[in-house]
């Protein structure tokens, strides 16, 4: 399980420094001990400061989960940075963003910190507690209580400001110090002369009381535990002894009262109940520490040791009791032979989430732009190594080591499922390389959406099938090509041939936001137009027309061929001119692109194109550079889409379908073969420096693909 240990120590990452600052800090040694204990138990643990960056850091470490996937958990040690009710700050944030955590919730912390409200609850519940009064401000009336008294801030912890007073003068002096330093009311409490103990609580329903620990004050100083004692600046050695030197009868009574106080404030998982025992054996609850220290010599840790829990055991026991509270079981149930294959797939893939993202990062760092033949072959070698390790073998018929590369399972690929993707990255060669980076929602990097994430999705879907021993009997082929950036002009014939023998084709292109797969695409043609006229000087007379003037007029006519309702679009995408010195251009080279929904409309559009681009005493040469056929909507896809939507509904994965303006190799699939495109992770800003995929969609789409393949293997 992922466990984020959240603490406050040095960070002041807040919008403004405002309010009473926190003075409680966990030592780095203790934080390291907790991390090591968690890691020894097999948890993936990190330490995070509980500051304004906490939500982003948590989301990076434990991103949004799938239905049925157990989220990570936070191990809360946070005392807060500043302001009131500081113990509640981090738990409130965790409640808001939906992350389970070890320890009490905001309400219990706020009640425990407000000592007056806590004592009111104790009185109401019949829990013995010393008599008390509240001083609101300077000039107070002295309460009708016998000295000595205890004074302390109303809303502080760890013995801040606590003092014994023996007369009115000391009372007013101590109260004023608290008013000045803490800007809050003063709690005055009857001093109980006797033994001070505390009882640790561990667990929920029922909460288990540890053996009481006794505070040893030594022979010097007041018989109370001060902040100076805690930070070792008082000059005396105050420690804890466990078990306390009290009778078994009082021990049992103290444990029962401690559990009642724990439950009365609504605490969870752990707490420490501070008490005093007078000379007659009466027990009084002083306060509840809802966030007990886990320092090496802390009384809570000493008491746990008496229960048979060493430090590592205690830390992991806290995770277990919190897990039981949230999930019903302290640890994930073991997977047995009776588990369904789809559940095994789910558990495998959700357990590989970090490796999925790491693989995407590794692939992003492999450069294979469409104009880099060496980089493409290097990427293919890496892909081949991965597929070989999974158990696939090369298919010579569809592999030429230049443009197409194909592998199949032991069952072969004939009449099976064909997965198609591209290894090259079609991006402007003049753009700088974009390295991998991430934020809580997205993974960024060159080709991450168009190529890398779909490739990783395919790899882990096959690994998942191998994990449950379903890969070898599945008829499946994997075909990758390396000329997507050149419109598949070299790989087209091989792809067509491979698709003809497939039962189904899944094209590993990215999904469209927010949750789309693609069931139809427009076709696309690219043309190069060369227009030539006679050289002429600007302003010179002549019968020949101005080349650019005519060209722009023609291009304006072309734009009128674009009809949105007919799903037709034509545009010039690049224009270059040539001219002699001192002359206006006599030659122009124009790149023209058009998209169309059907083959017939494409033919008609090209005919109109040629009719416009002619005449006017200029030489017109129009050459087709590439032709990417449309992917037409087909009824035969219905069964595959029904399977996908059923799987998505089962795991609460958002999924819908749409038509796309952009072409893909799905247009090469025969109409009698079911084909789904855009099954890869949902991507944004393709072919730009901001290209990204949604983090959650990486595991969602991998689960969709793996379970769809599983259904085909049955």
What does the pLDDT read at residue 329?
59
Token code pair at residue 474: 């599945």
What is the Cα–Cα distance from 305 to 202, expressed in whole angstroms? Answer: 12
Beta strand segments in 393-515, E: 393-394, 404-408, 417-422, 437-438, 442-444, 476-481, 504-507, 510-511
What is the Cα–Cα distance from 702 to 419, expressed in whole angstroms? Answer: 13
Residue keyed to tokens 């137009």: 529
Q: Helices 106-113 and 115-124 sit at what angle, rounded to 10 degrees?
A: 100
Query: What helix, strand, coil percent values describe the chain, rounded to 5?
Result: 35, 25, 40
List the domain boundaries for the chain.
2-101, 111-130+192-327, 343-521+632-713, 527-628
What residue ranges of the chain have pLDDT lower than 70?
11, 19-23, 157-159, 218-219, 221, 226-235, 329-339, 542, 714
pTM: 0.78
What is the Cα–Cα distance from 296 to 318, expressed in whole angstroms? Answer: 16
Residues 6+ apart with CB under 8 A from 307: 202, 210, 211
Token code pair at residue 170: 């000391």
Using alpha carbons only, give the angle 240, 246, 248 rounded to the nearest 5 degrees. 125
Radius of gyration of the chain (CA): 36
Separation in Å, CA 238 to CA 98, 297, 305: 40, 11, 19
Nearest to 3 by CA among 81, 58, 56: 58
User: For 2-101, which CATH class?
Assistant: alpha beta
What does the pLDDT read at residue 132?
94
Nearest to 502 by CA among 614, 416, 440: 416
Using alpha carbons only, give the angle 598, 604, 606 rounded to the nearest 5 degrees. 100
What does the pLDDT read at residue 334?
42
Name beta bridge partners: 406.
479
What does the pLDDT read at residue 121?
97
Separation in Å, CA 409 to CA 342, 400, 412, 474, 516: 20, 19, 5, 7, 29
Token code pair at residue 480: 């990758």
Phi/psi at 660 (nearest 5 deg)?
-120, 150
CA atoms within 13 A on the CB side of 281: 9
Query: Could you say which DSSP state residue 72 is in?
Result: -
Helix or strand holding residue 625 (H, E)? strand 619-628
Query: Does domain 527-628 correspond to CATH entry 3.30.460.10?
Result: no
What is the Cα–Cα distance from 288 to 262, expressed in whole angstroms? Answer: 7
What is the Cα–Cα distance from 55 to 454, expressed in whole angstroms? Answer: 28
User: Is the C-alpha dihedral spanning 226, 228, 230, 233 positive or negative?
Assistant: negative
Query: Does domain 343-521+632-713 correspond to CATH entry 3.40.1280.10?
Result: no
What is the Cα–Cα distance from 307 to 141, expressed in whole angstroms? Answer: 47
- Asked if 463 contacts 395 with a C-beta cutoff of 8 angstroms, the reply is no
Separation in Å, CA 124 to CA 127, 204, 255, 261, 265: 8, 22, 19, 11, 12
What is the Cα–Cα distance from 132 to 187, expressed in whole angstroms? Answer: 7
- Asked if 417 contacts 503 with a C-beta cutoff of 8 angstroms, the reply is yes
Residues 6+ apart with CB under 8 A from 107: 266
Specify the CATH superfamily of domain 111-130+192-327: ATP-grasp fold, B domain (3.30.470.20)
What is the Cα–Cα distance from 420 to 417, expressed in whole angstroms? Answer: 10
Residues 6+ apart with CB under 8 A from 371: 429, 485
What is the Cα–Cα distance from 663 to 520, expressed in whole angstroms? Answer: 9
Instruction: Compute how many other C-beta atoms are within 10 angstroms of the C-beta atom of residue 91.
Output: 27
Tell me: the pLDDT tens digits for 258-271? 999 999 999 999 99
Tell me: the pLDDT tens digits for 282-308? 999 999 999 999 998 899 999 999 999
Instruction: Kindly give the residue spans of alpha helices, DSSP state H, lying in 81-165.
Output: 89-97, 106-113, 115-124
What is the Cα–Cα distance from 357 to 556, expressed in whole angstroms? Answer: 47
What does the pLDDT read at residue 231?
54
What does the pLDDT read at residue 245?
94
What does the pLDDT read at residue 488?
96
Residue keyed to tokens 């037709």: 568
């Amino acid at each position: 399980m992922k466990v984020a240990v959240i603490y406050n120590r040095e960070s002041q990452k807040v919008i403004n420094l405002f309010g009473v600052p926190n003075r409680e800090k966990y030592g780095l040694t203790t934080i390291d001990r907790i991390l090591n204990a968690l890691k020894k138990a097999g948890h993936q643990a990190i330490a995070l400061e509980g500051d304004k960056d906490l939500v982003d850091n948590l989301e990076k470490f434990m991103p949004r989960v799938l239905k049925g996937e157990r989220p990570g958990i936070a191990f809360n040690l946070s005392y807060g940075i500043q302001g009131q009710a500081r113990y509640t700050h981090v738990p409130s944030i965790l409640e808001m963003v939906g992350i389970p955590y070890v320890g009490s919730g905001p309400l219990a912390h706020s009640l425990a910190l407000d000592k007056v409200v806590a004592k009111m609850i104790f009185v109401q519940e019949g829990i013995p507690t010393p008599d008390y009064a509240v001083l609101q401000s300077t000039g107070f009336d002295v309460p009708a209580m016998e000295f000595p008294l205890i004074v302390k801030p109303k809303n502080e912890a760890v013995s801040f400001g606590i003092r014994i007073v023996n007369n009115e003068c000391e009372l007013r002096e101590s109260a004023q110090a608290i008013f000045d330093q803490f800007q809050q009311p003063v709690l005055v409490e009857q001093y109980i002369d006797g033994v001070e103990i505390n009882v640790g609580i561990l667990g929920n329903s029922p909460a288990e009381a540890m053996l009481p620990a006794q505070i040893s004050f030594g022979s010097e100083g007041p018989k109370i535990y001060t902040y100076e004692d805690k930070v070792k600046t008082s000059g005396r050695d105050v420690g804890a002894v466990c078990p306390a030197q009290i009778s078994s009868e009082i021990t049992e009574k103290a444990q029962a009262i401690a559990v009642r106080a724990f439950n009365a404030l609504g605490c969870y998982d752990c707490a420490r109940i501070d008490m005093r025992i007078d000379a007659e054996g009466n027990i009084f609850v002083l306060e509840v520490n809802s966030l007990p220290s886990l320092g090496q010599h802390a009384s809570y840790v000493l008491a746990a040791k008496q229960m048979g829990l060493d430090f590592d055991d205690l830390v992991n026991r806290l995770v277990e009791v919190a897990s039981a509270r949230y999930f019903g079981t302290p640890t994930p149930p073991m997977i047995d032979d009776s588990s369904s294959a789809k559940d095994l797939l789910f558990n495998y893939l959700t357990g590989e989430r970090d490796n999925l993202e790491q693989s995407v990062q590794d692939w992003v760092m492999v450069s294979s732009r469409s104009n880099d033949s060496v980089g493409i072959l290097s990427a293919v070698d890496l892909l081949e190594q991965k597929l070989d390790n999974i158990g696939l073998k090369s298919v010579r018929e569809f592999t030429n080591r230049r443009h197409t590369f194909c592998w199949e399972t032991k069952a072969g690929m004939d009449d099976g499922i064909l997965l198609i993707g591209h290894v090259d990255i079609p991006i402007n060669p003049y753009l700088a390389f974009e390295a991998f980076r991430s934020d809580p929602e997205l993974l960024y990097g060159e080709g991450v959406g168009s190529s890398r994430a779909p490739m990783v999705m395919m790899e882990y879907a096959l690994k998942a099938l191998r994990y449950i021993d379903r890969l070898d009997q599945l008829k499946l082929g994997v075909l990758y090509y390396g000329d997507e950036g050149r419109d598949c002009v070299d790989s087209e014939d091989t792809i067509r041939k491979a698709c003809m023998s497939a039962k189904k084709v899944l094209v590993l292109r990215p999904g469209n936001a927010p949750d789309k797969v693609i069931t139809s695409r427009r076709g696309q043609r690219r043309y190069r137009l060369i227009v030539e006229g006679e050289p002429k000087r600007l302003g010179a007379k002549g019968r020949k027309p101005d080349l650019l003037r005519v060209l722009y007029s023609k291009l304006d006519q072309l734009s009128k061929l674009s009809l949105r309702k007919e799903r037709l679009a034509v545009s010039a995408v690049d224009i270059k001119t040539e001219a002699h010195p001192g002359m206006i251009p006599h030659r122009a080279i124009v790149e023209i692109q058009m998209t169309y929904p059907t083959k017939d409309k494409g033919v008609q559009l090209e005919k109109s194109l040629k009719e416009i681009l002619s005449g006017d005493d200029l030489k017109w040469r129009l050459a087709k550079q590439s032709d990417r056929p449309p992917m037409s909507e087909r009824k035969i896809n219905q069964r595959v889409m029904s399977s996908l939507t059923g799987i998505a509904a089962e795991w609460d994965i958002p999924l819908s379908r749409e038509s796309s303006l952009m072409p893909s190799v799905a247009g090469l699939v025969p109409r009698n073969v079911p084909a789904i495109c855009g099954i890869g992770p949902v991507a944004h800003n393709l072919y730009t420096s901001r290209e990204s995929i949604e983090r959650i969609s990486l595991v969602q789409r991998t689960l969709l693909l793996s379970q769809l393949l599983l259904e085909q293997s049955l």
